[in-house]
Amino acid sequence: MTTILVNYTGRMGGAPMYAWEMTKGFIENGAEVSAVISKYVQNIEAWKRLPLKHLVIIDTYTDKYSFIKSMILFPISVQRQIQREIGEECFDVIYIPMYAWLTYRINQMFKSAKTVITVHDPIPHSGSSFLANKLLNGFLLDMDIARAHKLVILSSQFKEYMKMRYRKNNEDILVIPHGVFSTYKEIAIDHGIFYDSDKINFLFFGRIEHYKGIGILVEAYRQVEQQYPDSVSLTIVGRGDFSPYQDVFDTLHHARLVNRWIADDEVDGFFCGEKIVTVLPYLDATQSGVVNIAMQNHSLIIATNTGGLSEQLAEGAYGLMVSPNDVKALYDIMEKVILHYEDYDDIRQDAYDALKKLDWRVLAGKILEGCE
């Protein structure tokens, strides 16, 4: 029996769900699993329900001040807590589902274990903060990747890059696609979101960040709405600084903004309705968990042909691809959807059917096989 320590001390976003689903997948494959998680992780109650051998819940941080404190006091408080709750146990594998500030320190406590790291963003997104790049995607992450037994990436698009950058062999890098967040549907609540079935309802869902290309979407939709004023709506959902797009957005008529953090039990509801078209107008990307949520809800997907998105959509078999950073190209494909929505029914069904290959037990099993 493989013994695994899951080292995940992040708090919010899709990463806590990804970490939880993969951990559950290990257990379903017969592994003996323990975990170290943050007390502030958004799905902590779900972690508590897993049949883990050890669940160590540590105090991390909620803001920049508690972050500095956690980094200074880690050797004194958290290390002693982990040693006290786990004892002298040795693990076959330490699995890092997504890198966080305390990952490196915890890894150093279990040097005899093989380390497996999922690298979600082999190349940092444009517009990412310098500090995050320097510390996470730079110095600390590089040290752990250098000694890692296996790396997991979610798209084959970046395999050669990772091999060259980190001097890894082909078998050291596992390409394992993003699984389906079925839990969002299981815990969904009715939050009153309404979509007009007489309109094509374009949806953007995710953090409001520069690389997501929201400005391109807002401008393309502005032109679409001028041409088809009674046939479309736009919903933008996510937390972040929306001010760069606010002036243009305020001129739109059938558009709404939900600019706040979205709880796990709310997520699925934004994808439920008729004629919802999920748009990912990213300027650059690796892959996106939003793709699988949309596919699960039979939402037609429009995505830019960048990073691993085309691979997720099987080069256009599961969605519509468009050039990045191109308002006219996005306008043209949105217009085609408005005029010929029913023509894409087969694409939506094929995308839904493809999700059967993305079961978390199967994906976690591939990691276990790769560690043998």
CATH number (domain holding residue 258): 3.40.50.2000
Confidence category of residue 25, pLDDT binned at 50, 70, 90: very high
364 and 318 in a single domain? The answer is no
- Helix 214-227, helix 327-340: angle, nearest 10: 50
On whether both 17 and 158 belong to a single domain, the answer is: yes
Burial of 50 (0-12, 13-18, 19+ CB in 10 A): middle
Q: In the predicted model, is pLDDT for residue 206 greater than 70?
A: yes
pLDDT in tens, 254-265: 999 999 989 888
Q: Same domain, yes or no, for 134 and 86?
A: yes
pTM comes to: 0.82
pLDDT at residue 132 above 60? Answer: no
The whole-number pLDDT of residue 223 equals 97
Decide if 99 contacts 135 (C-beta within 8 A).
no
The total domain count for the chain is: 2
| Same domain as 175, residue 196 | no
Is residue 293 domain-shared with residue 163, that is, in the same domain?
Answer: no
Confidence of residue 133 (pLDDT cuts 50, 70, 90): very low
Note whether 276 and 348 are same-domain residues. yes
Question: Lowest-pLDDT range, 134-148, 177-191, 259-273?
Answer: 134-148
- Find, among 132, 280, 289, the residue nearest to 214 by Cα: 280
DSSP string, 36-61: EEETT-TTHHHHHHS--S-EEEE---
> Are 116 and 176 found together in one domain?
yes
Residue 320's domain spans which residues? Answer: 186-356
Mean pLDDT, residues 274-300 = 91
pLDDT given at position 284: 84
Label residue 75 by pLDDT band (50, 70, 90).
Answer: low
334 shares a domain with 254: yes
pLDDT at 81: 87
Do 220 and 176 reside in the same domain of the chain?
A: no
pLDDT at position 203 is 98
Share of the chain above pLDDT 70, in %: 91
The Cα–Cα gap between 127 and 149 comes to 31
**169 plus 204 within the same structural domain:** no
Bigger pLDDT: 351 vs 71: 351
Q: Which amino acid is at 229?
A: P
Same domain as 77, residue 136: yes
Q: Give, rounded to a whole angstrom, the gap between the first and last alpha carbons of the chain.
A: 11
Query: Quick one: pLDDT at residue 13?
Result: 78
Domain match, 87 and 97 both: yes
**What pLDDT score does 216 carry?**
97
- Res 127: pLDDT: 56
Across 135-163, average pLDDT: 81
